[in-house]
Amino acid sequence: MSLISLLSRSNSRLLLVFLHKSPISVNLLETKVVLNSLQYSKTTSGMKSVYVTRPDVASIGIDLLKKECDVSSWSQAVPVPRDELLRQVVGKDAIYCALTDKIDSEIIERAGPQLKCIATISVGYEHIDVAECKKRGIRVGYTPDVLTDATAELTVALLLATSRRLFEANKEVYNGGWKSWAPDWMCGQGLKGARVGLFGFGRIGQEIAARLVPFKPSKLTYTARTERTTEAVKLNAERVSFDEMLCESDFIVACCALTPETKEIFNTDAFKKMKSNAIFINSARGGVVDQTALCAALKDKRILGAGLDVTTPEPLPLDDPLLKLDNVVILPHIGSADVNTRIEMSRITALNILAGLKGEKMVAEVSI
């Protein structure tokens, strides 16, 4: 065993002095070993180390982690830069991340073999390389149930804002367009008597449907991989094919997961099949839509309007052509932006990490 390795095991302060004073040339590999040894100093003393990629998550989660772990985090309320993330994950036992963080094989490799779990404060986990996690035996936690109601509420609000042209009307108040009452001015499309199609009928889809029932649509339909008979009966919803939903719905709501099968499923062909009065709502993931095709459909009035809480990329560039259209409402991905929901998401993310580090059952774990 080298002198440097011995020093790193016995006294980290002495090691730093040695490295600073010694004329000995240390090769790159041994330098990495030394730095990792220093990084692990807290872990070897009994505390697990956790890196949190944002400082602005609800404090309840961070406080839970600090009781049992050595916690460090990015210092600014913006996504952590890639190079900073690569530096900070070294030697960590767990990573607390968000949708804005790409946790790929490079990040996982850089963290090291002691990395036991990754938990994201989101229901989506496409930003995490789950295949790499599976290969390395790393557990992945997420927050699927807690944001269901908040996302369903926001989706219905977005649908109404789009169909009843609330943002267009609001602008007219401020720009002088509001002159007097007119019989056809700012008229939108109502839900009563309309046919609503839901693409996806999981927890969020079902809660959206439940909130739409009081508006008295003529029919609720859904398209999903599996039959949801019990849930559908309660809501008087009918399962239909994707093409039937596209062709017959007045409102189409995307509330599905982003998978290889659903990626850009709403494309040029899909928009061509929709009714000319159709309103398309997306609170799922931006990736389920071909945005170029959507923009063309809106611009050419092939569909009546669209409401988006998710886009690709996020945020949208200010020169994106969608932002030049009047018949689209775009929100900055705020589906779960309810105060109590975000607090609970932070708590569950922390509990997932603590469970993962202890080898216990997580509150919500991705099946990989």
Confidence check: pLDDT of 367 > 90 = yes
Chain segment 343-364, per-residue pLDDT in tens? 999 999 999 999 999 999 999 9
User: In the prediction, which pLDDT does 40 show?
Assistant: 44
Chain segment 82-98, per-residue pLDDT in tens? 999 999 999 999 999 99
Question: Does residue 222 sit in the same domain as residue 321?
Answer: yes
Confidence check: pLDDT of 143 > 50 = yes
Confidence check: pLDDT of 6 > 80 = no
Mean pLDDT across 138-153? 97
Q: Is residue 366 part of a domain?
A: no
Question: Does residue 109 sit in the same domain as residue 174?
Answer: no
Better-scored residue on pLDDT, 291 or 45: 291
The range of the structural domain enclosing residue 71 comes to: 40-146+342-358
**Residue 47, CA distances (Å) to 92, 93, 354 in order:** 11, 10, 12
> How confident is the prediction for the chain on average, in pLDDT?
90
Chain segment 256-311, per-residue pLDDT in tens? 999 999 999 999 999 999 999 999 999 999 999 999 999 999 999 999 999 999 99
Catalytic site residues? 333
Structural domains in the chain (count): 2
Question: Does residue 240 sit in the same domain as residue 282?
Answer: yes
Question: Does residue 135 sit in the same domain as residue 103?
Answer: yes
Confidence check: pLDDT of 164 > 50 = yes
Q: Is residue 335 part of a domain?
A: no
Question: Does residue 170 sit in the same domain as residue 67?
Answer: no
pLDDT band at 42 (very low <50, low <70, confident <90, very high): very low
User: In the prediction, which pLDDT does 238 show?
Assistant: 97
Confidence check: pLDDT of 9 > 70 = no
Question: Does residue 54 sit in the same domain as residue 202?
Answer: no
Q: Is residue 11 part of a domain?
A: no
User: In the prediction, which pLDDT does 231 show?
Assistant: 95
User: In the prediction, which pLDDT does 46 show?
Assistant: 77
- Helix 12-21 to helix 28-39 angle, to the nearest 10 degrees? 150
Q: Is the pTM of this model over 0.85?
A: no
User: In the prediction, which pLDDT does 338 show?
Assistant: 96
Confidence check: pLDDT of 44 > 90 = no
Q: Is residue 14 part of a domain?
A: no
| CATH classification at residue 186 | 3.40.50.720
Confidence check: pLDDT of 8 > 50 = no
